[in-house]
């Protein structure tokens, strides 16, 4: 029960899209579709700068959530930092999913709908950044997790004992095992007709790893171009 009641992240409908991994803000809409190349460059630059500006806020929110996981603050401090360092983007992708459908995504506190086709129209690597998140989110949303399910799943992601550089893995693995058990029980109670839901969520963790690996590669490409 202590894990089912762990603090949840802010409601996605009212928080900024805090991704170091996602899209721009502040009125970047489909109206830009008619811009010439120089105008598109400006949109892409704004896109990247917005991603950077939201990163610190996103990390703060995920950090506060992690601290609310029973046992997290008792872990080695260096390991806490490492878990957050490697888990934050995966968590943010999950947080982003409810804001997305097959046609686009809500941005700017839900006031603007940015179409998937518009994002595809950006030049590389910008156009490549969002498509994998759309594909993941559409499939993830089908699982219909509620807030309690989501909080436990995010805790499991953060408490991954195989992150590089961890100093004391055993207590992390023990803590994750406890949360995994809570998640499995929660899903059985909350989704009695979805017998494979727990297994599907474990597979989503593997999918997230690949998405983040590809995302980091694209960010490195952007940095090399000195945009």
For residue 128, the domain's CATH number is: 1.10.565.10
What is the rounded CA–CA span in Å between residue 59 and residue 27?
23
pLDDT score of 221: 80
* 153 falls within a domain: yes
Would residue 51 count as lying in a domain? no
Give the E-state strand segments of the chain in sequence order. Answer: 100-101, 104-107, 112-115
Total domains in the fold of the chain = 1
* CA–CA gap between residue 146 and residue 189 (Å, rounded): 12
pLDDT digits (tens, 9 = 90+) for 187-209: 999 999 999 999 999 999 999 99
* Sequence-distant (≥ 6) Cβ neighbours of residue 126 within 8 angstroms: 44, 47, 48, 119
Per DSSP, 6 falls in state: S
Res 37: pLDDT: 44
| Domain limits for position 208 | 56-104+124-224
Residue 141 located in a structural domain: yes
pLDDT of res. 41:
62
Residues in the chain predicted with pLDDT less than 70, given as ranges, are: 1-55, 107-111, 226-227
In a domain, 201, yes or no: yes
Q: Is residue 91 part of a domain?
A: yes
pLDDT at 33: 36
In a domain, 183, yes or no: yes
* 116 in any annotated domain: no
User: How much is the pLDDT for 65?
Assistant: 95
């Amino acid at each position: 029960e202590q894990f089912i009641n762990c603090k949840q992240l802010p409601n996605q409908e009212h928080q900024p899209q805090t991704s170091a991994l996602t899209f721009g803000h502040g009125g970047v809409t489909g109206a830009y579709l008619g811009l010439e190349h120089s105008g598109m460059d400006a949109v892409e630059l704004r896109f990247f700068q917005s991603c950077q500006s939201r990163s610190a806020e996103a990390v703060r929110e995920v950090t506060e959530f992690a601290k609310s996981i029973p046992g997290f603050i008792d872990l080695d401090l260096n390991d806490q930092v490492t878990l957050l360092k490697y888990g934050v983007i995966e968590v943010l992708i999950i947080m982003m999913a409810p804001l997305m459908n097959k046609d686009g995504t809500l941005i700017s506190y839900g006031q603007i709908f940015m179409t998937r086709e518009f994002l595809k129209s950006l030049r590389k690597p910008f156009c490549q950044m969002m498509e994998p998140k759309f594909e993941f989110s559409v499939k993830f949303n089908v699982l219909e997790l509620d807030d309690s399910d989501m909080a436990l799943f995010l805790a499991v992601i953060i408490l991954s004992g195989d992150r590089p550089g961890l100093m004391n893995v055993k207590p992390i693995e023990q803590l994750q095992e406890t949360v995994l058990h809570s998640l499995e029980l929660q899903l059985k109670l909350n989704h009695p007709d979805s017998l494979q839901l727990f297994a599907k969520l474990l597979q989503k963790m593997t999918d997230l790893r690949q998405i983040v690996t590809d995302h980091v590669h694209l960010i490195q490409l952007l940095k090399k171009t000195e945009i």
